[in-house]
Amino acid sequence: IRVNNNSSSSSSSNNNNNNNNNTDYNDIYIYNSNNNTNNSSSKKKKLMGCIESKRNTNTNTNNTTTNTNNIEEENQEDIIDIPTRSPTTTTTTTTTNNTTTNTTTTTETMTDATDEKMTGVVATGEVDEKLYSRQLYVMGHEAQRRMMASSALLFGVSGLGAEVAKNCILAGISTMTLCDPAIPTAFDLGGNFYLKESDINVNDDDNGTSASASRAELSLPQLAELNQYVSVSTVSKETVPSLTPDHQTAILNQITASIAVVIITIPLDASLIQAMNDKCRSVGACFIYSLTTGVFSQVFCDFGTEFIVSDTDGEQPHASQVEMITCDSPAAVKVLEDHGRHGLETGDYVTFSKIKGLEKKDGGDDNGGDSKDSNDIGLDPSIEYEVKATGPYTFELPSVDLSAFAIPATQGYITQVKKPKILSFQSYAEALASPKELMMSDFAKFDRPPVLHLLYKGLHQYMQSHDGNLPSVGSGEDAAALLEIVKSLDTGTDKVITEDNATKVSALVAQFASGSQAILSPMCAAMGGIVGQEVLKACSGKFTPIQGFFYFDAVETLPDELLPMDELNITASDNDNMTRYTSQISVFGKTLQTKIMNQNKFLVGAGAIGCEMLKNWALMGVGCGPEGKIHITDMDRIEKSNLSRQFLFRTKHINHFKSTCAAEAAKEMNDDIKIIAYQEKVGGETEHIFGDDFYDKLNGVCTALDNVEARLYVDQKCLFYRLPMLESGTLGTKGNTQVVVPHLTENYGATRDPPEKSIPVCTLKNFPNQIQHTLQWARDYFEGVFRQNAEDVNSYLGTSSENFAQSLAGQQNTKIDTLTSIQNTLVEDRPRSFEDCVQWARMLFEDLFSNQILQLLHNFPEDQVTSSGTKFWSGSKRCPKALCFDIGSKCEDAEMRNHFDFIVAAANLRASMYGIKGRTDEEYFVNVLKDIIVPDFAARDGVKIAANEAEAAKESSDSHMEEDVDVEATRILESLPKPSELAGFKLNPIEFDKDIDDHMLFVTACSNLRALNYQIPTEDTHRSRAIAGKIIPAIATTTALVTGLVCLELYKIVGTPRKELAVEDYKNGFINLAIPFMTLSEPTAPAKTKAVIKGKEWNWTAWDSLDISKGDITLAELMDHFEKEYNLEIQMLSQGVSILYSFFANKKKVEERKKMPMSKIIESITKKEFPPNQLFIIFELIANDFGREGGDSTCQVSISINRIHSVSFCRSLASN
């Protein structure tokens, strides 16, 4: 089926037979599940993760398939006009032999009233950019469309299966079919967030058979709610009664050519897994098999012998600017060094655009001017040139001969071309017998993957000999049996088990066997993120899949020896005594479970990471005990773009507070959870809420934030109160986790990234050379014209002229600009109708993109030469050209009508600011614009334009003499109407919002027009939104993975049973699911500083302190304490901005204060009482060693005012 989104009529055979060549079809091919399965001559090819079907001409007409749309078959392919439709939510699929019947319940009707239901897979090429906004910056539109045309078949909906299904549905694949007839057990409650304890009670019907619903049926309703565009269905228990070899035929019948990928997430018989893998290969479907067994897990991928990856890493193509292209053979290229390395490798391909230079030796210029067309200068922009890297800033073009040219190129743009890659995979049987290189996750355990490979092979053999059952919890007998199997499988010359590691492997097998039945939420979340991304790779062809096996474990969370049975107390057959925490108890024991439930945690942020974290905590039981509680805060409200990755939210929650909705959703998963939701920002202004008494009751803090500033604030709080902190973040497919443990690891703020480079002002104003420059300029202009001008006018109207003049007194450099903008906005350019707004927009276009450019060229002509003899317009300075307004003009790169878009967007924003009704119909604008007379440009002499940053700084400081500014300001103020004359008049300031299309239309058009001025490649609205809005790419898979890793660290922080953890037992994580890459490493220990206290050397860290157990002591007692205990004489003591004591202060006042408690001294100075929730006062203290001149020490002192003991934090005692 090839999808047409422009059709407004229902699909019919007439449309297929009489296609209009002008119809815009999306290049999406879907294999129709109703095709004749007996047609062995049909050819199927896996292309970019999708299935393309081209039928052979010798189709058996005697065995036909009836389609409800009566679509006639063509010899080569069916082309069907399909109008955009709203998706189904629930489908029950029943398969008998080779006939498939779909019964669908649709929640919303299709957009075309005459449309009929269609069988098979139907996808629309329209991408909902509002919903998938952040994900599109990860996957891209083309990959998203491929996903929307792909179907997945999932076997197993326990914990891991639920995670995979959730992530894939959120991502927006076409259909997800669940096949799992098994009835849930208590172990499933540890990972499946849609199962409840009541679901595991097995009831028999009158016939004595089980009447309980299956895991798939119980999970279906809520999974279907996640994404309205995804059809979610189940395979009935009548069709597939069980996932065992007894029903292998029925299972294999579900794997058809309409399926893009098959996923298995539960333990199955090894022969059945192999048969399913073989069937996938025969129909061209990708195959993924993954398991979690306690704190161990595996992933296996087989995408066939020729899987095409369109983009191996998802990174933006490397882009550079030309400094010079030599006239040699081969041509040599040097890039501008101040823009960074070119990042290319030998064998890469690049394209060139906007090249300037390369004139021929005969003096002729084939370009007919200064803007060189690459076709005429030897570098065709449509040709991809192979690269030979010769240095970080240089490379050669082996196939290019430019020796016919005399003058080298001096400017231009270079863009890397990313090439598809074909990958070949081993089948499951081949990889099981002789795997290729196993993917690593922790280089500290470099020898672990081969051992785990052997363990999982042994596990399958164990299951075969034990009626499909896994080893029992805590059973030494079962562990011994598994160990014997593992040893028997370790054959060949390169043995995995050696004398050196035999004891270690034996212990590992015991831990593996004991927890093999356990389904832990953190492990399911982590592996669900990895497997979910592999599914998306299979559907889209984007990013590099895992080739073969990947193994992961978190044995650091386990005790060194198995826990006694009274700690585990698990009987697999006794469902009545089992709870949601059965899996967790079977691994970590009752004691740790009690500690987890009594945790008091503060979760800062309720976005994507916050939602995933709350889900994990609800399943783990965090805050569910009598002493436990979770505090969560987020000041943001839910937007539509959140729904594709913040899975606790639904459409009905839009505009509601995130923290409240997330808390309610967590409560639905686990009714025992105690959670308090706040809508407050965590910062200095909310310390009356999140103060000393708040942090004093916590066991730890978990951050789910989107900015560094907030993280650093929370980090300082954790450092002060000595609280563990769990930190994580994502950037598209990349993610990181950091565990902060008091005294054991460094704090989050101990190491920081370098600050972002700012764009020089003169570059933004006059010399842009990248689209980032023009977008920043356009956004700044938006803020100035549509927000700042309106706010200035409202400020002027809201007070008297005299008071407003006084408010401008401290703005000497900007006073004239502010008043001029008020005069223009309020008087000279004030519109009375929308037609006035259109005229203003047209004049603005002329000023920004023609007149200002002509003035710049008047000051700096194209042939300008600097004092050193070099061309002024060279290097990163691109010579601009003025634009001539053309309403029908369309830019070459982004293919946007920037001239028209700018007028429409600017006029409507202007109208909105003044409360005038706008309009967007093109005919109206054409009629108005043709009558507008635009004055001719006249260059002005004496206009100063800074050529570099130094001149810009000097110009800013010397812009106006103070007396001239005041005189001109008074003149403008006197010319303005009095505020009383405009009573009731007010403008509507418009604050830029990247998610509002009208705002982005202006910024994109404005940026592109400026880019056209300077011959910079333009960008479309989607890409411009990412740059201007500084959007952080995000996808649910990465979020699930990082939160899973964080929660594994939570087990360690709460306390691994009977084990003292060292720093190497904790793990920080760094991942990139696109490559794929994952590495765990031990955290960095805190930096130590040497000091001498009481004559003894002390190596202290940021976590250390000096304790004072004297309560709210007086100033004299504090000074005596420092003198006696540390031989320090306090020279100065301050709190905030108030000096409480200094050696040079009035002696009488000092003596009075020495007798007062520290809290009273502060109250007497600040005239404020302490908040009731404040337990500590922080002082800054400077002290000298007694008997030694100089050598001042500065430290921070915190004294308790509401408790018996107090703490003095000394941060800078190194000089002692």
pLDDT, tens digit (0-9, with 9 covering 90-100), for 581-592? 999 999 999 999
Q: How far apart are CA 1075 and CA 734, in angstroms?
A: 10
pLDDT in tens, 267-325: 999 999 999 999 999 999 999 999 999 999 999 999 999 999 999 999 999 999 999 99
Whether the Cβ atoms of residue 284 and residue 255 lie closer than 8 Å to each other: no
8-state DSSP, 748:
G
Q: How confident is the model at residue 1198 (pLDDT cuts 50, 70, 90)?
A: low
Percent of the chain with pLDDT over 90: 67
Between CA 339 and CA 168 the distance in angstroms is: 38
Determine phi and psi for 41, rounding to 5 degrees. Answer: -90, 0
Pick from 185-189, 771-775, 836-840, 941-945: least confident? 941-945
Lookup: tokens for 10? 């229902």
Whether 1080 has a pLDDT exceeding 60, the answer reads yes
Burial call 406-424: b when 16+ CB within 10 Å, e when fewer: eebbbbbbbbbebeeeeee
Give me the phi and psi of 940, to 5 degrees please: -110, 135
pLDDT at 1211 (0 to 100):
36
Half-sphere exposure of 1163 (CA within 13 A, CB side): 9
Active site (annotated) includes residue 762: yes
Confidence of residue 80 (pLDDT cuts 50, 70, 90): very low
Residue whose entry in the numeric block shows the structure tokens 């979770």: 630
Contact 152, 171 (CB under 8 A): no
Q: What is the pLDDT of residues 3-52, one digit of tens each?
A: 333 333 333 333 333 333 333 333 333 333 333 333 333 333 333 333 33
pLDDT value of position 973: 87
pLDDT surpassing 80 at residue 954: no
C-alpha closest to that of 947 among 1031, 872, 1058, 1024: 872
Q: Which DSSP category does 97 fall into?
A: T
User: Is there a cis peptide before residue 979, judged by omega within 30 degrees of 0?
Assistant: no
- Spell out the residues 6+ positions from residue 685 whose beta carbon is closer than 8 angstroms to its own: none
pLDDT of 1207 strictly over 70: no
Q: How many degrees, rounded to 5, is the angle at CA 338 between CA 332 and CA 339?
A: 75
Residues 984, 1005 contacting (CB under 8 angstroms): no
Catalytic residue of the set 286, 718, 762, 879: 762
Looking up tokens 């404005």, which residue turns up?
Answer: 1006
> Which DSSP helix (H) or strand (E) runs through 89?
none
* Cα separation, 179 vs 235, whole angstroms: 5
- Asked whether the beta carbons of 727 and 703 are under 8 A apart, the reply is yes
Write down the residue that tokens 């785990």 correspond to.
Answer: 452
Asked if the model's pLDDT at residue 802 lies above 70, the reply is yes
* Both structure tokens of 61: 């007409």
Please state the separation of Cα 1136 from the chain's center in Å. Answer: 38
Q: Which of 1174, 1187, 1173 shows the shortest CA–CA distance to 1216?
A: 1187
pLDDT beyond 90 at 579 = no
Residue 244 to residue 533: CA distance in whole angstroms: 27
Alpha-carbon 824 to chain mean position: 42
Asked whether residue 1160 carries a pLDDT value surpassing 60, the answer given is yes
Q: How far apart are CA 964 and CA 732, in angstroms?
A: 53
Alpha-carbon torsion (104, 110, 115, 121), positive or negative: negative
Residues 6+ apart with CB under 8 A from 526: 297, 552, 1040, 1041, 1044, 1045, 1048
8 A C-beta contact, residue 166 and residue 528: yes
Residues 603-617 as b/e (b if ≥16 CB within 10 A, e otherwise) read: bbbbbbbbbbbbbbb
The pLDDT score that the predictor gives to residue 421 is 96
Considering only 209-223, 236-250, 603-617, 841-855, which range has the smallest mean pLDDT? 209-223
Specify the amino acid at residue 490.
D
Window from 117-131, 899-913, 1111-1125 with minimum mean pLDDT: 117-131
Q: Which range, of 366-370, 1006-1010, 1137-1141, averages the lowest pLDDT?
A: 366-370
Please answer whether residues 1206 and 1110 qualify as being in contact, where contact means their C-beta atoms are separated by less than 8 angstroms: yes
Q: b/e per residue, 462-476, with b = 16+ CB within 10 A?
A: bbeeeeeebbbbbbe
pLDDT per residue as tens digits for the range 1050-1078: 999 999 888 889 999 999 999 999 999 99
Cis geometry, peptide bond prior to residue 880 (ω within 30 degrees of 0): no
- Range 694-699 contact pairs with CB under 8 angstroms and sequence separation of 24 or more: 694/602, 694/631, 694/1173, 695/602, 695/720, 695/721, 695/723, 696/721, 696/1175, 697/600, 698/600, 698/601, 698/602, 698/631, 698/723, 699/599, 699/600, 699/601, 699/723, 699/724, 699/1054
C-beta atoms surrounding 888 within 10 Å:
8
The backbone torsions φ and ψ at residue 888, rounded to the nearest 5 degrees and listed phi first, read -95, 5
The answer to whether residue 118 scores a pLDDT higher than 60 is no
- Quick one: tokens of 20? 């209009």
Residues in Cβ contact with 953 at an 8 Å cutoff, skipping those fewer than 6 apart:
none
Predicted confidence at residue 955, as pLDDT, reads 65
Helix (H, G, I), strand (E, B) or coil at 107: coil
Q: What is the mean pLDDT of residues 746-761?
A: 88
pLDDT tens for 245-269 read: 999 999 999 999 999 999 999 999 9
